[in-house]
Structure formats: structure tokens, C-alpha cells
Chain A
């Protein structure tokens, strides 16, 4: 529990009744929740180690209500934390004691599907999976597939730029979103992008995606939908070392193959998964690769053979190829159950999310093992091997005094290691509060100031989702200061705000 949130403003908390009444005037009935017991379900997101009941929850149903809530909060200088389904693993939707929690769960409508232009227009509370389900009958799907896809909302995906196991081939959320309707903190409603590719002007949509709810509240999303591939087949390959598995991954890509998914598990993850789901994972290997190819049947058949040959060259000790859909899903069952499986071997686990250049994998795994010894906590590794995105699962017991703090410290060291070898703090889970204080490992104060000024362009009073992403909250006026020559900026004629 090492991360501190901004100190609540007691003067705002003292105004709770007035704030609740104002919100009720905008969102009638059960759309405003203020009873302490009823606030508890909202006290955390997927980063459950951090809990804070919000001052009040508001669940608007229309864009106009969202705009009015934000306009009122802006006028009254009340902070707002937006929330989708609350599945963030980085604490992006963690409430604040002096803030309104703005839940977008009632925006659940699929507005339009256009198969000619291959787009779906949906409200932000629609789940990721529901988009695919809405277009499935016509043979389409929505490509990004975070593992929480049954629950996570597309609005949350936009905020976090969510990925999934298929993003090496199909991209993250940002590569699959064409437009949004957005409400700014002052209540202004704008549309960015649309149904066309590469709209005119600055790519503001590109910076909204992944902005973690700090720039605006998304009230409508236009996504691209893709035709479902004709076939998908998978290989399950065991290796005597992580080095060999890593070399196999590099060789597959060097051969010009971009698999639909390429997942690696280490010994501890393999054993935990196999004990949980019994799908026949080999237990005598150090690393297991699941490689999936999708596309025309002729392509899959060809690539399966190519990849199998590469795996053999790299000393694979087990090699199975899926011959039907049941078998393919069985290969995945263990990987998909890896998190709950690890939950069975340890009372608690903490999921990390760094990305590294793949060539550094053996070194990173070795040093992670050293850290594991040093902290006295186990770690199991699952890994989106194709794009170098690591998910170390740190095993700990929250009931043992000090273990959570140790797990966090261990996790921070892993992320520092990722940055040290040329990688990043987060590949797909977002910074949120979790990695906020590590941002200076990757960015200088100057780098961060350039990012935060974008925040200031959207929300100059820093009312929207404060305490997330940026380690230090500089006031925008402070960040905007320029070195002024003889009391005058150049170009005095230039229009400025």
C-alpha cells in the first residue's frame, strides 16, 4: 500500500449533501448513489489492494446528463473519476474520497452496425465481447480481446488502450477505433474521427485512446470490425529452456511469420495451469509456447509446418498440433486459466505488465529469479512472447504482515528491470496509480511535462481522474511558464487562449 493518493479536500466532503442534491437534479431516481453501504461495490477496480469508497456515484443514462454532471462539477470545482466496468488492473478507476465517481455502465446500446463500411457504433458501456457477439452472425468480430473481455467495457478499453493475446497481428484498441464522442470536463461535447480513415487535423483521437480517463469521458465509440478468419490452428511446444523458446519466437518472426498469438509460460505457470485444468501440458519442460495461426486453411496448414520445423530446429521436446477446434481450445485452456490457476497455489498474486525487447528475455528471467530469492516471494511467468509483453505473477499472502509491501517492491524492481533493458513499464494494463510513481524511471521531468501539458489542453484545472498516471501534479499555470525575453513573448500578434 505504498502509493499515496492526493489528500482529500475536506471542504468538498463537507458539501456532500449539496453535491448529491445537485446530481439528483440532473440524474433522477436510482442514478445517484450516496449511502455508504451502497458505495462499497465501487470502492476498487481490478487492482483490489487499493480501496477507497467514492463520495458519491452517479450513473447517467444520456450524453446530456454526462455533460450536465461534468459542467456542474467543473463549475463547482468538484473532481470526477470516470469508470467503465471497473476491471482495470492498474487502478485507473480507483475512486477518491472527495470525488464523484461517474459510472458509464448504463450506456449499453449497440447503436449501429454497418457491414459495408465494417464499423460498429456502440455506447461505451457495451462489453468488448458483446461487440463481437453483435456481429458474429454476419461472420465478423472485434479484434482486440483483453482477457477480461466478458466484463470489460469498450469505453474502458478506449481509456486504457487495451490489448489482448492477438494484438501482435491485429493491434491494440487504438488501431481498431475510428471515432469517439467525448465530453470534456467543462461539459462540452465533441466528436473526434468518424467512420473514415485518417480524419483531418491533429490526431486527437489517437491521444484520447490510452489517456486513462484524464482527458474526457467517452460517450460513443466507433470501432472497426473484421471478417472472422476462416480457420485457426495452434501448436503446443515445450522447450528445455527459456532461451530456446525465445530463440524459436525470434526465428518464427525472422521467417516472416506474424502468428495470431504467441504465448509463453514458465515452469511454475505450466504446473499451476496443468494442475488446475488438466489439458495435458508437458510437465518436464522449462518453457511452453502456444503459437496460433489464423487465416485461410491453406495458409494455416502451411504455417503450422513451417513453425513446427523452426521449433524442432530449436530443440523442442514436445510438439503437438491442433487438429480440430476442441484440441485448439484445450491448448489455450491452460493459458487462459493461468491467473486463477496461480490463485490456487498462492493466497494472493500480483500481476505485472512490462514489455521488453524479446532478445533480452533470458537475462530478464534470470534476474527476476534472483529478485524472487531476494524478496522471498515466488513468481510465475506468462508472457505475450510475440510482442515481448511480460506478465510476471508475484505470489504472496496478504494476511502475512508486510508481504503485500514486499510484493509491490518486487514488482517495482521487475518494472525497473524492464525499463533498464530497453522496455517499458506497461504493455497493456496502463499506468493508473500502480505504475504512477515509476514513471520517472522511463521519462525525464521534461518528457512528463510535455505529456502533462496535453492534459492541461483538455482539463486545465486537473479535475478529471486526478492522482493517476502522473507522479507529480503540477498546476497547469506552472507548466505553461515560458522563459520570457524582455517581458515579451515572440509573436505578440499570435492569437492565444
Chain B
């Protein structure tokens, strides 16, 4: 497979302009940790890893500008060194597909990746302040800015996050960074049924005890009994006060125990990376948290394995049953199902992303054409190239 390896934004523009002239389709790739997501395709790989490095980082301004190909691990280490973090808790998809960690910042933002803290701190979309990119017209342009508060012009960074490289090739990203909590504690209730768990998680998220994340692992996932987790983070006196307050708030739901720090950290790492679910077919379902328990029940009865994050707003489902069944159930629950891991035969026929209403698909199509009129970045990966009208 052909690969292009731009080392600068000018190289990137030349690569795109060249593809435009020759009619070559391009697939943007960072570390390739999500390359297995989507239908098989045969496009020229545009390897973004040459556009790496920190361009500007001023911790006091809460702003970081980096090359799109910079490894996520490198950025996390850099900001951690200044007592900061990417608050959306991005994570490396390598483990999902049995590969080594290699995710780049451009890749996690373009895929809209967020971890357990998403429920309280927002997603990649909420932390991408600006970017510099090359559009499918072969033109360099910027959008957003390098300050934390800005409403000048359309919020194109929102479109960039979660665009899966289908609009333009980001060369540089400006991200909001935030202080890393000094203390992290994990509380847990054992033995809750799914419905009880979502109610308990809602009670915690709806209280002023300010949990930063809450997840539920059903029976058999970790140590046998179901485990509902609540993460409390912040300054030591505040964490202590809230850890004392939460058992009272959750008294009606069950006995709350505080886990040892290393045990809590290991559990959150497992939740973030979906470690407990090893089915060949893995779905990510985003839905209103109050619908999560009734969504999983009939699928679990058919043998599906699952776990919940984001207070129930995210259900991970490991099940080799029909895609239509999963999608219909997700839709009935007011949500959507994305396929993130599957055997090749399924990828060939099942779109990774949940189909939208025809009217919305039509707008998306027009927006894609606005940035990429020749369809350079349309590799067929998402099986949605038909005209929705």
C-alpha cells in the first residue's frame, strides 16, 4: 500500500494537492490504532506522524499547541509534568485490537475519543480550541484560536472532533489543558442489579458530592459480584469530605466501601480501555443513562457481555449477534450504536457509525463536500457514500 509521509504542513498541502490532481483517495492515519475500525478500503495512506512535536505550551494559559502526529503518550507525559491533564481522558485504542499503544493526538481528537471523565468534563470536542489544517481543496486554513474563550466565526473545531479525517487533514491542534487533580479516590458499591446501578450513579452525579466519573461492571466482569464505581478527585480536604458525604447520599442504594488507591486506579484503567470485554465484536452505545439498564437486559439474556461508563450514558457491549438487533435496541432507547471491533466479514457490510436520519445525513454530506468537494478523503470506510436524498 502506498504511503505518503509529510514532514511539514507544506508537505501536507503538496500531498493533498497531488492527490487532487491525480484523483487519489487518501486515508489519514496517525498511529493506526483505529485502522481496523470501518470497512476494508484501498486508499493511499497519509501518515501524519511526521507532523509531530510541541509547538507552544504555556501551562498558566491552559493552552497547548501540538503537531497532529504527536503521540498521545508523549503529550500526556508532558502535561503531567506540569501538573496538568487532557481532561477528556483520551485513551489508546491499540489495546482494543491487540496492538501496542501508538495513538496520536490528531487521531484521538478526530475520532472523538474520551474516557470516564467525559461525563463531567466533556469530550475531545469540548477541549479542541483551534487547528490548522489542509482541506480537500489543497488549501491551508485555520479555525478557532489559541485562547480558551472564543466565539469568533463558526466553531469548526467542533466539526473536526469526531470527523474521522473526512473533512480535512489537521496539521496542528490547540487544546485546552486543565489542572490534574492532586488526589483520586474510588468508592464502590457491590452487588447492584443494572437498574439499581444506574439509579445509584444518577444519584451520585446529581448530588453536590461532585464525582468525576462513575461506572458499573456487572457480575462476572471483575471479581464475581457486580461493582458500581464512583471516582472522587480534587484537593485532599475536598476529596476526604466528599468521600465521607457520598456513603450518606448513596445509603439507600447500598453499602459504600472505599477501595485502595492502586485497586481503584487499576479498575478505572480497565474501564477506560474496555479491558473486561474480549468478544470479537464490540459495540459502543451512547444513550440516555436512564435507558441503559433496560437496553442491556434483553441482550444480556441472549449472552451479550456488557459494562457501563458515564453513569450509564455509555454501554460497551460485547456480542456477536446481529448488528440490526443492536442498532434497533439502541435506537429504541434513544441512543446510537457504534461498531468498534468486529471480524472482517461484518465490517464489509456493517457501517461503523450508527446511521442518522436522512435529513441529517444529507447535511453531513453537504458539509463534507464543502471541505472536500472532490471526495479525496472518502475511502468508503463508513459505507455511507450514497446520496441521502
Contacts and interface: CB of A to CB of B under 8 A. Distances in A.
Interface residues of B, number: 106
Contacts of B137: 482
Interface of B: 20-25, 58-63, 83, 112, 114, 118-119, 122-123, 125-126, 135, 137, 139-143, 145-159, 161-163, 167, 178-180, 182, 198-199, 202, 205-210, 234-235, 237-238, 240-242, 245, 286-290, 310, 313-314, 334-336, 338, 353-357, 359-361, 363-371, 373-376, 378, 385-387, 389
Given A118-B206, A190-B359, A485-B21, A388 B159 contact: no
Which of B153, B206, B353 has the most C-beta atoms of chain A within 10 angstroms of its own C-beta? B153
A174 B150 CA distance: 11
Interface stretch (A101-109, A148-156, A447-455): A447-455
Which of B155, B241, B365 has the most C-beta atoms of chain A within 10 angstroms of its own C-beta? B155
Interface in A438-460: 439, 442-444, 446-451, 453-458
Contacts of B287: 196
Given A257-B179, A296-B242, A454 B367 contact: yes
A302 B235 contact: yes
A489 B137 CA distance: 12
Given A387-B147, A442-B153, A450-B139, 15 more contacts: A116-B290, A118-B206, A189-B359, A196-B336, A211-B155, A256-B83, A388-B148, A389-B149, A431-B153, A447-B153, A450-B156, A454-B154, A490-B375, A494-B375, A494-B378
A196 B386 contact: no
A228 interface: yes
Contacts, number: 307
A355 B179 contact: no
A451 B154 contact: yes
A365 interface: no
Interface of A: 114-119, 139-140, 160-161, 163, 167-168, 171-172, 174-175, 184, 188-192, 194-207, 209-211, 227-230, 250, 253-254, 256-258, 295-299, 301-303, 355-359, 384, 387-389, 422-431, 435, 439, 442-444, 446-451, 453-458, 469, 480, 482, 485, 489-491, 494-497
A439 B151 CA distance: 12
A422 B147 contact: yes
B152 A435 contact: yes
Contacts of B354: 200-201
A277 to B, nearest CB: 27
| Cβ-closest 10 pairs across A and B | A206-B158, A299-B238, A490-B23, A298-B241, A256-B179, A453-B370, A457-B366, A495-B387, A200-B354, A387-B149
A167 B176 CA distance: 13
A257 B181 CA distance: 9
Given A256-B179, A454-B156, A495-B385, A197 B142 contact: no
